[in-house]
């Protein structure tokens, strides 16, 4: 389930404490933690915390947020929604965030066909509209019967969702491949590197975004090279 917390502090200690308070205390210790290139997620303190908890820490490639596509798409969804409700000075965005998350978590996902709440809790969230119009009551059952049914339902939901996600990924790949032109480089090739540098007081449109040429010294995979 998508989770988003407004945060004004950027110290590594603050983010390490936030990881424990807002995530580990509720969901347990993750096996893998993937982040962007932010220094607060890649500091010695944060790295040591992940090492202590046996968390595999990975990060995106610089200037290529595609490797964190799910989060980037969710962030775009948040921004598109908040832009409709924030005040002109844009200082109240954090007050709109909780109700947006409620709406997002209770809405059917276009890929899985389930709400995020269904996927995690196997139940529909109680919404303000239910206070006015009511909702069907749950059939009472014994604790053991409830747990057995819950396990079976969650397994069924997750299997179905994984199949839907796989199909959606294949469709996206097909659409991308139909319009993509493959660029394959090898060690020793000369290339230009996209590395935009913004200088205060200068128009970004007139600044150089590419630098080089550089020589490829190692191919890590089809998308990542070392120069």
Q: What is the pLDDT of residues 4-26, one digit of tens each?
A: 777 766 788 888 898 999 889 98
Give the pLDDT score at 117. 87
Q: With CA atoms as reference, report the closest residue to 191 among 216, 169, 170.
A: 216
Residue 177 has pLDDT above 90, yes or no: no
Q: What pLDDT was estimated at residue 134?
A: 76
Checking if the pLDDT of 68 tops 90, the result is: no
- Cα separation, 12 vs 32, in Å, equals 18
Shared domain check, 166 and 119: yes
182 or 95, which is more confident? Answer: 95
Domain identity same for 124 and 174: yes
Q: Is residue 8 part of a domain?
A: no
More confidently predicted of 118 and 204? 118
Q: Which of 178, 197, 213 corresponds to the end of one domain?
A: 178
Residues 194 and 170 both lie in one domain = no
139 inside domain = yes
pLDDT of residue 176: 66
- Rounded mean pLDDT of 80-98? 84
Task: Give 17-56 pLDDT, tens digit per residue.
Answer: 989 998 899 889 999 998 888 888 889 999 999 999 999 9
- pLDDT of amino acid 55: 95
What does the mean pLDDT of the chain come to?
A: 81
Q: State the helix-helix crossing angle for 69-82 and 93-105, rounded to 10 degrees.
A: 120
Nearest partner of 194 among 68, 62, 39, judged by Cα: 62
Look up the pTM and report it. 0.58
Domain annotation covers residue 79: no
Between strands 190-194 and 210-215, the pairing is antiparallel
Q: What is the mean pLDDT of residues 79-106?
A: 86
Range of the domain at 29: 13-59
pLDDT (mean) for 186-208: 74
Tell whether 122 and 174 lie within a shared domain. Answer: yes
Q: What is the pLDDT of residue 53?
A: 95
> Has residue 151 been placed in a domain?
yes
* Within-domain flag for 118: yes
Residues 163 and 197 in one domain: no
159 and 207 co-located in one domain: no
Number of structural domains found in the chain: 3
- 170 or 136, which is more confident: 170
Question: Any idea which of 44-58, 97-111, 166-180, 209-223 has the lowest mean pLDDT?
Answer: 166-180
Contact assessment for residue 23 and residue 47, using Cβ atoms and an 8 Å cutoff: no
Report the C-alpha gap between 15 and 18 in whole angstroms. 5
């Amino acid at each position: 389930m998508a989770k988003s917390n407004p945060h004004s502090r950027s110290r590594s200690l603050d983010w390490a404490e936030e990881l424990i308070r807002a995530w580990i205390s509720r969901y347990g210790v993750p096996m893998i933690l993937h982040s962007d290139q932010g220094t607060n997620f890649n500091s010695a303190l944060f790295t040591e915390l992940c090492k202590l908890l046996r968390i595999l820490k990975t990060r995106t490639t610089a200037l290529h947020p595609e490797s964190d596509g799910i989060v980037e798409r969710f962030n775009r969804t948040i921004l598109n929604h908040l832009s409709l409700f924030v005040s002109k000075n844009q200082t109240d965005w954090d007050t709109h965030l909780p109700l947006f998350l409620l709406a997002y978590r209770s809405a059917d996902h276009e890929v899985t066909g389930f709400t995020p709440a269904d996927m995690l809790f196997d139940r529909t969230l109680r919404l303000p509209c239910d206070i006015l119009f009511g909702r069907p009551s749950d059939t009472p059952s014994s604790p053991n019967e409830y747990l057995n049914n819950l396990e079976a339902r969650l397994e069924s939901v997750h299997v179905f969702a994984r199949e839907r996600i796989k199909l959606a990924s294949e469709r996206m790949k097909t659409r991308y491949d139909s319009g993509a032109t493959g660029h394959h480089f090898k060690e020793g090739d000369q290339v230009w590197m996209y590395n935009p540098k913004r200088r205060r007081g200068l128009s970004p449109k007139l600044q150089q975004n590419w630098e080089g040429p550089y020589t490829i010294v190692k191919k890590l995979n089809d998308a990542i090279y070392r120069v």
